[in-house]
Amino acid sequence: MKQNKKRMAMLAGAFAVMTLAAGCGKAEIGYVDPSRVEKEAPAIVNIDAEMKSKMEEVQKQAQEELNAKQAQGAPPEEMQQAQQQAMGKMQQTGSIYDQQKTIKLQTAVGEIARTKKLDAVLFNVDEQKLVHLGGTDITDDVIKALQ
């Protein structure tokens, strides 16, 4: 019985020490305004321009294929299938370019976070700000990194 109480007391003490030790550290938080990065970072702007051009090309090609099928008198099912394929190709193209942007942004943010010794970086969108006070704004650094 006494050993049981001693164990419980030791566990409670250890828990208290861990709790106090965990509260001692100060987390460094950084934040980025993704809308500014998307508008001002040349690497992201270039990817957006390339994506827009490619999407227009894919859309034009799909429209030409649909017009050719329609001129041949293709049945409605075949027309619908061709339209769905065109939509799928456009979504795939958009997804590829979105992945490129995400990778570039994450790489830049990660490098800056390491350099500035930040524990976490949040995307601080105007509509739903996560950091209202404090924190380190690294938006300008991210834009510079994406030159």
Q: What's the topology of domain 1-15+26-146?
A: Protein Binding, DinI Protein; Chain A (3.30.910)
**Centroid of chain to Cα 109:** 11
Whole-structure pTM value: 0.73
Contacts of 136 (CB under 8 A, 6+ apart): 28, 29, 30, 31, 116, 118
- Answer left, alpha or beta for residue 82, where phi above 0 means left and psi between -120 and 50 means alpha: alpha
Tokens of 61: 């090609």
C-alpha neighbours within 13 Å on the C-beta side of residue 50: 13
Q: For the chain, what percent of residues have pLDDT higher than 90?
A: 61
Q: Could you read off the pLDDT of 37-92 as tens digits, one per residue?
A: 999 999 999 999 999 999 999 999 999 998 998 899 889 898 899 899 999 999 99
Q: Which of 20, 19, 15 is nearest to 7 (CA)?
A: 15
- pLDDT reading at 31 higher than 80: yes
